Amino acid sequence: MATVLGCIADDFTGATDLAGLLARSGVRVSLRMGVPQGPVTDAAPFEVIALKIRTSPVDEATSRAGEALDWLRAAGAERFFWKYCSTFDSTAEGNIGPVAEALMARLGTAQTIYCPAFPENGRAIFMGNLFVGRQPLAESPMKDHPLTPMRDSNLMRLLEPQVQGTVGLIDRLTVARGAKAIRAELARLADEGIVHVVMDAVANSDLEEIAGACRDMALMTGGSAVAMPLPALYLADGTLAQDAPALEVPNLAPEAIVLSGSCSAMTNKQVAAYLATGAEGFRLDPLDLAENGPRAALDWLATQDLSKAPLIYATADPASVRAAQAKLGVARAGEIVEEALSACVIAARDRGARRIVVAGGETSGAVTQALGVDRLEIGPEIAPGVPWCFCQSAGHPIALTLKSGNFGSENFFSEALQKLEAL
């Protein structure tokens, strides 16, 4: 069947986040790792293309997003969603705004919305300001993000330097009045020449009204949660067939590996909690990797019982991260860790690991590329926005979960493995 909604995500964990929420509908969701080559085959009702462009040069990011859009159009999509992080991870140069404008130009549409709210994960927008739990974005741990430190909480101020068009706001007072009021306000702003509209949302009910108002826009943008109501809306009006296909879960061997490259505050807690369960762990040191490569980690992995799901991690506190970046450079410090974790996942797969847990957006991109994964079928959620996914690697069936740094509870790694065991 033709694709109903075509989605483009700026990193791999963000893509699985979005795909997992769409899959709550029970309808088949396909996640492509990068822009597929060749003609469209076996398109799912919901197609998500995962790119690795969050911190790419703007020209590269807009070009790759344009290629993804072209493929999704060929798959039959007429509605599109540009997905970025619920903490609006970006710099003054982009890439959220530039990609949105490039997609708008290709689609010939004059207005879009921005709504990174994700209430289930503590992301709320009020009067244009983004909150992480009860903290303004600029006071949250995101202020120390190694690649995209967020030092302002106001989404309009963050977006304005990134775009050519004018930026406006539909605040919570309007959103609370429902979809009809939102549509009317969007029309009024369009008459005033407002191109980029930030949407307040503090609860799932707000997202339902926003989705209801914007469902027929050529392009919506935001975090994953504002797309979550769309499947039900499309089913209700017949845009999506009631008998749309669902996922079949494969049988998998029990061997597993947990890999963590994220240095977020939550992932630090998750690593500590997992090690506290008695799990075996090996910490990667970027400075040692720069000098000696991943041999020590690979040698350690070769001695581990994979049925007990050992952990290999580069997760560290902000001071340690800054120290490594100061000596190696920001980009190289990240690349070294990604290269090591990629080598480790291949070694684990070749020793029989069929259940793989990955923490960190950049890490997830590196791991999936190393495994040669170009498509994931989306399964059940472990935590809001974090599903188990199923794929093939070197002819083997693999279960893979790709967790954004700040998502999940402190016990996420254990919960993930338990969830898969229960399927």
- List pLDDT tens digits, range 169-208: 999 999 999 999 999 999 999 999 999 999 999 999 999 9
Amino acid at 168: G
Number of other residues whose CB lies within 10 A of the CB of residue 38: 6
> What is the SS3 assignment for the chain?
CCCCEEEEECCHHHHHHHHHHHHCCCCCEEEEECCCCCCCCCCCCEEEEECCCCCCCHHHHHHHHHHHHHHHHHCCCCEEEEECCCCCCCCCCCCHHHHHHHHHHHHCCCCEEEECCEHHHCEEEECCEEEECCEEHHHCHHHHCCCCCCCCCEHHHHHHHHCCCEEEEECHHHHCCCHHHHHHHHHHHHHCCEEEEEECECCHHHHHHHHHHHCCCCEEEECHHHHCCHHHHHHHCCCCCCCCCCCCCCCCCCCEEEEECCCCHHHHHHHHHHHHCCCCEEECCHHHHHHHCCHHHHHHHHCCCHHHCCEEECCCCHHHHHHHHHHHCHHHHHHHHHHHHHHHHHHHHHCCCCEEEEECHHHHHHHHHHHCCCEEEEEEEEECCEEEEEEEECCEEEEEEEECCCCCCCCHHHHHHHHHHCC
Report pLDDT for 279.
97
Report pLDDT for 110.
97
Number of other residues whose CB lies within 10 A of the CB of residue 165: 18
Report pLDDT for 50.
92
Name the β-bridge partners of 136: 131
Q: Name the phi and psi angles at 150, rounded to 5.
A: -100, 105
C-alpha 355/C-alpha 374 separation (Å) is 17
Superfamily name with CATH number, domain 256-421: Four-carbon acid sugar kinase, nucleotide binding domain (3.40.980.20)
Would you place residue 261 in the very low, low, confident or very high pLDDT band (cuts 50, 70, 90)? very high
- Least trusted range by pLDDT, from 267-271, 318-322, 408-412: 318-322
Task: Give the tens place of pLDDT for each residue, 68-84.
Answer: 999 999 999 999 999 99
By C-alpha distance, which of 49, 46, 50 is closest to 23? 46
Q: CATH 3.40.50.10840: which residues of the chain?
A: 5-236
Would you place residue 240 in the very low, low, confident or very high pLDDT band (cuts 50, 70, 90)? confident
Q: CATH 3.40.980.20: which residues of the chain?
A: 256-421
C-alpha 45/C-alpha 6 separation (Å) is 9
Over residues 5-15, mean pLDDT: 92
Report pLDDT for 244.
63
Roughly what angle, to the nearest 10 degrees, separates helices 96-107 and 58-74?
A: 40
What does the block give as tokens for 147? 């690649």
* Element housing 116 (H / E): none
Report pLDDT for 27.
87
Q: Is pLDDT above 90 for 331?
A: no
We find that the CATH architecture of domain 5-236 is 3-Layer(aba) Sandwich (3.40)
Report pLDDT for 386.
87
Over residues 416-422, mean pLDDT: 90
For residues 300 and 282, the answer to whether their CB atoms sit within 8 Å is yes
Report pLDDT for 147.
87
Task: Give the tens place of pLDDT for each residue, 212-239.
Answer: 999 999 999 999 999 999 999 999 998 8
Mean per-residue pLDDT of the chain: 94
Q: Is pLDDT above 80 for 248?
A: no
Query: Where do the DSSP E strands lie in 57-204?
Result: 79-83, 112-115, 123-126, 129-132, 135-136, 166-170, 194-199
Over residues 115-125, mean pLDDT: 95
Name the β-bridge partners of 256: 355
